[in-house]
Amino acid sequence: MAVDGRAGRVTRRRLRTRANLLDAAFTVFAAKGFGHVSIEEICEAAGYTRGAFYSNFTGLDELFFALYAEHAELIAEQVSAALAQDGPGLDVPAAVDRVTEVLLLDRDWLLVKTDFLVHAARDPEVAGALLEHRARLRGAIADRLARADGRAALPAVLGDAEGAAHAVVAAYDGVTTQLLLDRDVVRARAWLKQLLTALLTG
């Protein structure tokens, strides 16, 4: 029993260390840009040694993917929860209203994500991993649209639920690019609502 207790404390401490490193990395990446940050800077910001870093991550790419996974999961949960409120059917205009009200539009995260997209574009291996993460987000959206079981009349031009999910993510990408430049979150939400309504209702 004592061994299990010690193991539990170690696990909790390790999870806390990992979470603190991720929080520190997010702040440093947002301030300085991915590619301009060293492991030492992240360790200093988090108050840990390089040993603590390497006990949790193999390098900055893996750390970023952990950050990306957290945010992608949050966005997928936000979208899924907003779409799930209609039961088996799907009231598209009402769902769009809910999605645009809750969807994460955090400029610091968008700065970090954009920096990493540029990095990934120059490294096929990193790009492949990033594409997998983006595919999971599209999959969560497509799954909900598909489960509407024909009760949501999607425009024929989008094809199936997967095509609609691609369009939704593309709209989000476009809106967030504008947000990076004009810093207007209210306008971004309004624009996203208009785009999604037009896409999903034709």
Q: Where are the domains of the chain?
A: 1-57, 59-201
The torsion region of residue 184 among left (phi > 0), alpha (psi -120 to 50) and beta comes to: beta
What is the model's pLDDT at position 1? 43
What's the whole-model pTM score? 0.73
User: By the 8 A CB rule, do 192 and 179 touch?
Assistant: no
* Token output for 163: 């095509």
CATH node for 59-201: 1.10.357
What is the model's pLDDT at position 84? 66
* Token output for 162: 């997967």
Q: Residue 82, class by beta-carbon neighbours within 10 Å (0-12 exposed, 13-18 middle, 19+ buried)?
A: buried
Nearest alpha-carbon partner for 143 in 187, 96, 77: 77
List C-alpha distances in Å: 53 to 6, 7, 40, 48, 137.
21, 20, 9, 7, 28
What is the model's pLDDT at position 20? 95
Topology of the domain comprising 1-57: Arc Repressor Mutant, subunit A (1.10.10)
List C-alpha distances in Å: 27 to 21, 41, 60, 112, 198.
10, 11, 14, 9, 36
Task: Tell me the one-letter amino acid at 84.
Answer: A
What is the model's pLDDT at position 88? 60
What is the model's pLDDT at position 99? 80
Q: Which phi and psi angles does 3 have, rounded to 5°?
A: -65, -45
What is the model's pLDDT at position 126? 84
The torsion region of residue 150 among left (phi > 0), alpha (psi -120 to 50) and beta comes to: left
Q: For each of the chain's 202 residues, which pLDDT tens digit applies?
A: 444 555 566 588 889 999 999 999 999 999 998 888 999 999 999 999 999 999 999 999 899 888 887 887 787 777 777 766 666 666 777 878 888 887 778 888 888 888 888 888 998 988 998 888 788 878 877 877 776 545 455 666 566 778 888 888 888 888 988 898 999 989 999 998 888 888 777 6
What is the model's pLDDT at position 3? 46
